[in-house]
Structure 1
Amino acid sequence: MTEPTLRMEIADGVATITLCRAKEYNTITPELRDELAAAITAADEDPTARVILLRAEGPAFCAGYKIDRFIDEQHAETCGPDRIWDSATDLRWMGRFVQTYMKLWYASKPTIAAVQGWCVGGGTDLVLCADLIIAGRGASFGYPPARVWGTPTTAMWVYRMGLERAKRYLLTGDEITAPEAERIGLILETVPDEELDEHAATFARRMAKLPANQLQLHKLLCNQTVENMGMASSRTLGILLDGVARHTQEGVDFEARAGAVGLRQAVRERDSPFRDYGSR
């Protein structure tokens, strides 16, 4: 039996979901996807919880997908024996991950994420679906697969920080420090790293003092504005283009290089011209 990827507890009106694969930097696996989906649903349905707080153990909130498993399982699901890519199957397969992330958005109750360390790649697809994000000042965000092998599947970047800033970071893949993420509106606020957990929990408890129906009505009102801007169609395009980006010549070459020299070295080579992320 595999170890659980998270745990949940409810107290003072707050359902706290904690990712607990610290040694693996809380990388995304099918098990984490399914357990997180179940936890968010349970928290949203529990009458004693008014707010959902997502946090993580260890040095990183989420360092993206567990790529070795991702590649193997994606090939098994979406490629034939001659490595013919099925874009429709890929859309459905990747969409299962996105459906879990979007549960943070579509939960009737407010969702808060407390982020420490790395939150990159697929980790941003996940966390940007939360209603509010609080980060430790040492945290870092970014979408390095923008350089090769991916596009943001939940397509939240423009909605969070505007068109030009989203282009600025997606057209370079540059790393975003937590203070910069706060300045440009990607996240709500930053606090000292050692104060993150208590600050986020205190804020969640403060929010939970409101009646549950008031919280749900205000969240629906705010989110519907973004829905009316076409978020659902943007998200569908993001999932589809992510599959396309993994199967361009450059995407296939990157994957082959990772197979030859190891993923870490391939990522280091990708990022070294920019001198950020793991290349440091």
Structure 2
Amino acid sequence: MEPTLRTAVADGVATITLCRAEEYNTITPELRDELAAAIDAADGDPAVRVILLRAEGPAFCAGYQIDRLIDEQRAETTAPDRVWDSATDYRWMGRFVQTYLKLWYAAKPTIAAVQGWCIGGGTDLVLCADLVIAGHGASFGYPPARVWGTPTTAMWVYRMGLERAKRYLLTGDQITAPEAERIGLILETVPDEELDRHTADLARRMARLPANQLQLHKLLCNQTVENMGMAASRTLGILLDGVARHTQEGLDFEARATAIGLRAAVRERDDPFHDYGSR
């Protein structure tokens, strides 16, 4: 099987590049496990002071590879002749969340450079980075808010405040990169053609500081969010995501995807809102 990412270290920066471009870097168990290993390796490398996450292709991450997610969910969380097991589902989905949180809990600062789509599970991943910078043409959002999911890492309120988080999670609406910057979901936007250079320059600039200074300041900032109850919110996010996938509407969506194909089912969900792929 082809690797899902590649890594490089230079000038104190470990660059992790998602390389499933033809699949829009959708999340699979293989990507989850390789990303976890790559972040751990960078965090443990004394030559690295900053970790930069980027992606190849037209999309940073278009969420989960849902057809595989459905198959794995069925295999892992529902035994023959038994109903859905919420505790097993929590452990299963928690394995993905534990990988995303490595960006948050890594001792070293993490930066994400986003182009194109960053939606669904892609936001669960990217919002765990310390800094998120996007090209002007990027788009964010959580379309599974409409059916079949809740944000598992629960970072939305902490990123942009209570009412703005509600505004976008109660509609699932698409968020353009300039709007994401304006409302505080991400740090900043730059012209698409400057994204790689800009984020690499920032990572190298940060890497000029002593490693211990970087780690102390990250810990100081992150602890404020921890004190606000982030761990409890995350636990609830993972549990409620499982619930959302097993409501009647969630099961109907899953059955519809099986019957007419995933793309068609997603279009049926999103067409009334005139965004994402529908637009």
TM-score, length of structure 2 as denominator length: 0.99
1:17 to partner: Cα distance: 0.2
1:82 to partner: Cα distance: 3.1
Secondary structure class of the residue paired with 2:59? coil
Q: What is residue 63 of structure 2 aligned with on the other side?
A: 64
Q: What is residue 245 of structure 2 aligned with on the other side?
A: 246
How many residues are treated as equivalent by the alignment?
279
User: Identity rate of aligned residues, in percent?
Assistant: 88
The residue identity in structure 2 corresponding to 1:117 is G
Q: What is residue 225 of structure 2 aligned with on the other side?
A: 226
Any idea what the Cα deviations from partners look like across 1:187-226, whole Å, max 9, x if unmatched? 0000000110011000100010000000000000000000
Q: What is residue 117 of structure 1 aligned with on the other side?
A: 116
Any idea what the Cα deviations from partners look like across 1:103-135, whole Å, max 9, x if unmatched? 000000000000000000000000000000000
Distance in 2 separating the partners of 1:140 and 1:169: 13
Q: What is residue 73 of structure 1 aligned with on the other side?
A: 72
- Unmatched tracts of structure 2, length 5 or more: none
The residue identity in structure 2 corresponding to 1:87 is S
Residue 153 in structure 1 maps to residue 152 in structure 2: yes
The residue identity in structure 1 corresponding to 2:4 is T
Secondary structure class of the residue paired with 1:75? helix
Distance in 1 separating the partners of 2:13 and 2:264: 41
Distance in 2 separating the partners of 1:228 and 1:27: 32
Distance in 1 separating the partners of 2:260 and 2:38: 37
Distance in 1 separating the partners of 2:118 and 2:201: 22
Residue 206 in structure 1 maps to residue 208 in structure 2: no
TM-score, length of structure 1 as denominator length: 0.99
Listed as ranges, the matches of 1:83-94 within 5 Å are: 84-94=83-93
Task: Report the RMSD for the aligned CA atoms in angstroms.
Answer: 0.5
Q: What is residue 269 of structure 1 aligned with on the other side?
A: 268
Distance in 1 separating the partners of 2:227 and 2:164: 21
Q: What is residue 139 of structure 1 aligned with on the other side?
A: 138
The residue identity in structure 2 corresponding to 1:116 is Q
- Unmatched tracts of structure 1, length 5 or more: none
The residue identity in structure 2 corresponding to 1:266 is A
Secondary structure class of the residue paired with 1:273? helix
Distance 1:135 1:83, change over 3 A: farther
Q: What is residue 175 of structure 2 aligned with on the other side?
A: 176
Structure 1 moving runs of 4+ over 4 Å = none
Question: Which stretch shows the higher mean deviation, 76-85 or 53-62?
Answer: 76-85
Distance in 2 separating the partners of 1:195 and 1:164: 32
Distance in 1 separating the partners of 2:173 and 2:18: 26
Distance in 1 separating the partners of 2:255 and 2:44: 44
Secondary structure class of the residue paired with 2:8? strand
1:83 to partner: Cα distance: 5.6
1:10 to partner: Cα distance: 0.4
Secondary structure class of the residue paired with 1:54? strand
